[in-house]
């Protein structure tokens, strides 16, 4: 549990690190450097554990799809969104990913939605509205300075849910670290295409000390060590025990963003965040409660 807790704390601070790096360079430069470092860290660990393997053509194509969705596209949405969205708001929105996973399960896997699911989804939706508008629903339009970024972040949540859903199949045959090595590698190749179609390597020289610290934090800790620690934690503890730690992530972000970026902790945002967490908990509880019935059916 210590490793998984460390991973959640690191991920909670990742939005703040991205905001710091965005002061110097564009999102694509940050993503490219971040996942180059992450790929090297995970590659070194997988090689040390003697888990390297050569995937088949079909597996490689699937890993490439996951790399595009979970690395290139997902991180582009979040980094672009953070140009205008606050780190705190981003963390609350990202916390709704389990809601979208439940909806995808209902749509594509024909999983039933009970009243607890529906109540949880409704509460989380209300919480998102409170968080992104700061309690003023008139700010739902694009005229709000942070709204365009909030919409990018909101789109990243169902995108990650799709990535998670598609990741289930290969995780039945490959260890998480081995799979993530190729997913991250393909994702980095996609970001390379996006980088060289845009700013290229010219922005790297613009990075200040703070910018480099932010990217090193993102690359080595968030994309490298945290992924490994998280999946190591899943091997030594139950899914429900480790999964419950995700609730800490937005709280870490709020505190770190207040200390590092001076973001205000607004009562209405905390109320919205509480609604999101309660909604996610209800959905998660309903899913776990339904599992024994599905297995016995």
The rounded distance, in Å, linking the Cα atoms of 80 and 83 is 6
For the chain, give every domain's residue range: 2-296
Confidence of residue 142 (pLDDT cuts 50, 70, 90): very low
How confident is the model over 189-235, as pLDDT tens digits?
Answer: 999 999 999 889 999 999 999 999 999 999 999 999 988 887 777 66
267-296 helix and 87-94 helix, angle to the nearest 10 degrees: 20
Confidence of residue 112 (pLDDT cuts 50, 70, 90): confident
3-state secondary structure of 112: coil
Do the Cβ atoms of 232 and 42 come closer than 8 Å? no
Residue 241 clears pLDDT 80, i.e. is over it: no
What is the structure's pLDDT at 283?
84
Residue 294 clears pLDDT 50, i.e. is over it: no
> How many other β-carbons are positioned within 10 Å of the β-carbon of residue 16?
28
Residue 292 clears pLDDT 60, i.e. is over it: no
Q: pLDDT > 70: what percent of the chain? A: 89
Count H helices and E strands in the chain, helices first. 14, 0
Q: Select the highest-mean-pLDDT range: 3-12, 58-67, 270-279.
A: 58-67
What is the structure's pLDDT at 114?
84
- Per the model's pLDDT, the better-predicted residue between 243 and 101 turns out to be 101
- pLDDT average, residue stretch 162-175: 85
The rounded distance, in Å, linking the Cα atoms of 102 and 100 is 5
Q: Using CA of residue 207, residue 210, residue 211, residue 214, what is the dihedral sign?
A: positive
Which residues in 150-181 are b (16+ Cβ under 10 Å) and which e? bbbbbbbbbbbbbbbeebeebeeebebbbbbb
What is the rounded average pLDDT for all residues in the chain? 86
Q: What's the Cα-to-Cα distance from 55 to each of 44, 60, 164, 270, rounded to whole Å?
A: 18, 6, 20, 45
What is the structure's pLDDT at 295?
42
Q: Select the highest-mean-pLDDT range: 25-34, 176-185, 239-248.
A: 25-34
What is the structure's pLDDT at 244?
64
What is the structure's pLDDT at 297?
37
What is the structure's pLDDT at 290?
67
- pLDDT average, residue stretch 72-100: 92
**Out of 84-98, 152-166, 283-297, which region has the weakest mean confidence (pLDDT)?**
283-297
Do the Cβ atoms of 106 and 168 come closer than 8 Å? no
Residue 155 clears pLDDT 80, i.e. is over it: yes
Do the Cβ atoms of 31 and 79 come closer than 8 Å? yes
What is the structure's pLDDT at 56?
93
What is the structure's pLDDT at 242?
59
How confident is the model over 8-48, as pLDDT tens digits?
Answer: 899 999 999 999 999 999 999 999 999 999 999 999 999 99
Confidence of residue 158 (pLDDT cuts 50, 70, 90): very high
| Residues in the chain, overall count | 297
Indicate the Cα dihedral angle 167, 168, 174, 175, nearest 10°. Answer: 90
Alpha carbon of residue 226 to chain centroid: 12
């Amino acid at each position: 549990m210590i490793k998984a807790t460390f991973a959640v704390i690191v991920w909670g601070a990742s939005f703040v690190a991205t905001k710091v790096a965005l002061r110097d360079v564009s999102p694509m430069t940050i993503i490219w450097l971040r996942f180059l470092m992450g790929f090297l860290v995970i590659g070194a660990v997988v090689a040390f554990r003697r888990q390297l393997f050569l995937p088949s053509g079909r597996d490689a194509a699937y890993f490439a799809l996951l790399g595009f969705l979970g690395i290139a596209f997902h991180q582009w949405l979040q980094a672009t969104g953070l140009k205008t969205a606050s780190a705190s708001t981003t963390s609350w929105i990202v916390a709704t990913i389990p809601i979208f996973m439940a909806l995808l399960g209902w749509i594509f896997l024909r999983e039933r939605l009970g009243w607890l699911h529906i109540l949880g989804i409704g509460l989380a939706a209300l919480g998102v509205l409170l968080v992104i508008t700061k309690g003023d629903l008139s700010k739902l339009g694009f005229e709000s300075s942070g709204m365009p970024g909030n919409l990018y972040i909101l789109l990243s949540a169902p995108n990650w849910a799709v990535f998670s859903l598609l990741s289930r199949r290969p995780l039945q045959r490959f260890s998480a670290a081995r799979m993530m090595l190729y997913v991250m590698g393909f994702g980095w190749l996609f970001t390379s295409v996006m980088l060289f179609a845009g700013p290229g390597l010219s922005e790297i020289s613009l990075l200040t000390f703070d910018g480099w610290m932010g990217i090193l934090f993102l690359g080595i800790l968030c994309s490298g060590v945290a992924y490994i620690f998280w999946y190591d934690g899943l091997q030594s503890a139950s899914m429900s025990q480790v999964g419950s730690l995700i609730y800490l992530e937005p709280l870490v972000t709020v505190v770190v963003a207040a200390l590092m970026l001076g973001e205000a902790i607004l009562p209405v945002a905390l109320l919205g965040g509480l609604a999101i967490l309660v909604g996610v908990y209800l959905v998660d509880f309903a899913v776990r409660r339904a599992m024994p019935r599905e297995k016995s059916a």
